[in-house]
Structure 1
Amino acid sequence: MPTLTRKDEVTAVSASDVVLVVFDGVEVIDVAGPASVFSKAGQMRPGSYRLHIASPAGGTVSTNGGLSFSGTSKLQQLPPSIDTLIVAGGDEPAVRAAILEQHIGAWLRQVAPHTRRMASVCSGAFALAAAGLLDGREATTHWRVCDQLQALRPQVRVQRDRIYVRDGPVWTSAGVTTGIELALALVEDDLGHAVSMEIARTLALPMLRGGAQPQLTQALQAQASASHRLRELVAWIGTHPQDDLSVEALAERVQMSPRNFARAFTAETGCTPARLVEQVRVAAAAQLLRQTRWPQDRIASRSGFRSVDALQRAFARQHGLTPQAYRTHDET
């Protein structure tokens, strides 16, 4: 398996150099999201990062969204040593062409020994896998293609329900917008939690999810087939975990009787109101566990649980571990 150098072994390039690898048909958000994070980190801490966008042939690269990146560097012309390298994803034909015709996998294998850390966004994981960089490691990708990655590369320990995964110097993230959270985690690893959180606030993220959280939330799945007024209610629940979220209170909010509301909610969203509320509150608690050093009683209160015991029981049901174990696991 190709190896990556440790940070203290990189001498040819400053630790500030970040390379985003793109190709024709790349997913634009996979590039724009991480680029924005590192750009803002550089504004907050001048000189902390220098961002490069590179492609197999250099020059202009077309994205799958109709936009283009011009003036990209040619992969073969990059410095021999790189600090942080992130491979973006794209539609299956574009990723396949990048690997088989433009030989991105071979290039990654070549530069791996001279790179401190590598990462991928979404289906960019297939390029890392083609280079052998994921063999024997835990990794993730978009939920739609996790099984495909596992079938193509059985040596990879694919994690199907993670926002991002770090295994040593290799980081992989799920689909599209999770590239922002991956980039924030990389910045936090370099510059600390306070800088990462300030960038998240600047980007107006509704919440900063930890890597251990699921790709598809129950709230999003609940909204998929719900009527307009129940979709709006689900969104409101997601931002008000501390409020009274009893069936009676929620029914009053949408001007329905409690009995009819409970029936309609379950039929339209596929879950009971109580189940959704618990998952929303656990997600809120998980966010606080990651973002703060608060004790569990304060986290329980701020996320809508009546007690630490209620918080712990809900965590056990959803994650199979305690809040403290979750906090420790997400930090590793």
Structure 2
Amino acid sequence: MPIPTHKDEDTAVPASNVVLVVFDGVEVLDAAGPSSVFSKAEEMRPGTYRLHIASPGGGTVSTNGGLQFGGTLALQQLPAAIDTLIVAGGDEPAVREAIVEHRIGAWLKDAATGIRRVASVCSGAFALAAAGLLDGREATTHWRWCDRLQALRPQTRVQRERIYVRDGPVWTSAGVTTGIELALALVEDDLGHGVSMDIARTLALPMLRGAEQPQLSQALQAQGAASHRLRELVAWIGTHPQEVLSVEVLAERVQMSPRNFARAFAAETGCTPARFVEQTRVAAAAQLLRQTEWPQERIAARSGFGSVDALQRAFARQHGVTPQRYRDGGERRRPSR
């Protein structure tokens, strides 16, 4: 039976079996991230989840980082009633071996009919694809694997610019750290926003991205090609969106003339200072819209916009929707022009 979903944090939720499938060569963070989220959820709401770590043959599994998962259950030893199953990802040879030689995809195809929801982290999406679970659905995987997944399963609508995708009972995520955000979304779907945010704070996440955020953040892309002093400036902007961030102020922070600064910033980051500041402020506002119930006036002020109108116009440019629609989960992200 499906786990009852609700937002009342004072009402007990029947415990459900959560299975995390790993294999030799699995990416350690793909497994450790979701495992930590569900473990924290169980600590906060005892009796909610029972977490099982499983592998094709059971026993000890070695990760690609040299760590090991000991005492994993064989797939055939799993409890009959599985509520949520998550397949972790790994390097290409490891994933191929897990699917072809250990037949994870074939096992999943048979098992999925009795599972309420199935999810993948990173290249674990290929196991879902091998089971036919992505046919006719939207899905995502790590940006390096998106083209290959699309070529392998033309029936799948691969979303390249997404942190995670939910299409009915099937959830897929971009990989590595996004597995944490996928797991938090699964917990929120069960236990409500408050529990999910408590876990995010416990794990000391710097921010909780929405599903339709790009896999590679603007800040990370900007820092990739920038000099040391501009990398530090990009990081500072990201944590101070409410400050005055004019070209003159930013140029002074890195001890450059405004004209030379504007040229260097655009050349090194591929983005003008003004556009980068707006993108940073929209990202900060998006986080507050999803994580708080603050009115838009307060969100505009905290994220550096001079008015609600300025916030709304910036959201329209970057997301194609109003802040309220974004808050309600109706975002349809598009590149800003």
TM-score of the two chains, using structure 2 as the length reference: 0.93
Q: What is the root-mean-square deviation in Å for CA atoms of aligned residues?
A: 1.5
Q: How far apart are 1:175 and its partner, in Å?
A: 1.9
Q: How far apart are 1:327 and its partner, in Å?
A: 2.0
**Aligned partner letter, 1:92:** E
Identity %: 82
- 2:58 equivalent in structure 1: 58
- 1:143 equivalent in structure 2: 143
Q: How far apart are 1:274 and its partner, in Å?
A: 0.7
Helix, strand or coil at the partner of 1:143: coil
2:216 is the counterpart of 1:209: no
CA distance in 2, matches of 1:224, 1:32: 26
- 2:185 equivalent in structure 1: 185
**Aligned partner letter, 2:174:** A
TM-score of the two chains, using structure 1 as the length reference: 0.94
Cα gap change, 1:28 to 1:131, in 2 (>3 Å): same
**Aligned partner letter, 1:31:** A
Q: How far apart are 1:325 and its partner, in Å?
A: 2.1
Q: How far apart are 1:6 and its partner, in Å?
A: 4.7
- 2:307 equivalent in structure 1: 307
Does the CA contact (< 8 Å) of 1:290 and 1:330 recur in 2?
no
Length, aligned pairs only: 323
Q: How far apart are 1:15 and its partner, in Å?
A: 4.2
Cα gap change, 1:59 to 1:170, in 2 (>3 Å): same
**Aligned partner letter, 1:114:** G
- 1:76 equivalent in structure 2: 76
**Aligned partner letter, 1:139:** A
Deviation digits for residues 238-286 of structure 1 (CA, Å, limit 9, x no counterpart): 0111011111111111111111111111111111111111111111111
2:175 is the counterpart of 1:155: no
**Aligned partner letter, 1:248:** E
Helix, strand or coil at the partner of 1:71: strand
CA distance in 1, matches of 2:329, 2:138: 14
CA distance in 2, matches of 1:31, 1:255: 44
Q: How far apart are 1:165 and its partner, in Å?
A: 0.8
Does the CA contact (< 8 Å) of 1:138 and 1:158 recur in 2?
yes
Does the CA contact (< 8 Å) of 2:15 and 2:47 recur in 1?
no
CA distance in 1, matches of 2:313, 2:147: 31
- 2:282 equivalent in structure 1: 282
Does the CA contact (< 8 Å) of 1:125 and 1:172 recur in 2?
yes
Helix, strand or coil at the partner of 2:141: coil
CA distance in 2, matches of 1:178, 1:187: 14
- 1:247 equivalent in structure 2: 247
Worse overlay, 82-91 or 265-274? 265-274
Worse overlay, 41-50 or 288-297? 288-297
**Aligned partner letter, 1:48:** T
Does the CA contact (< 8 Å) of 2:55 and 2:75 recur in 1?
yes
Query: Unpaired runs of 5+ in structure 1?
Result: 9-13
- 2:104 equivalent in structure 1: 104
Query: Unpaired runs of 5+ in structure 2?
Result: 5-13, 333-337
Q: How far apart are 1:314 and its partner, in Å?
A: 1.1
- Write out the 4+ residue segments of structure 1 that deviate beyond 6 Å after TM superposition: none
Helix, strand or coil at the partner of 1:60: strand
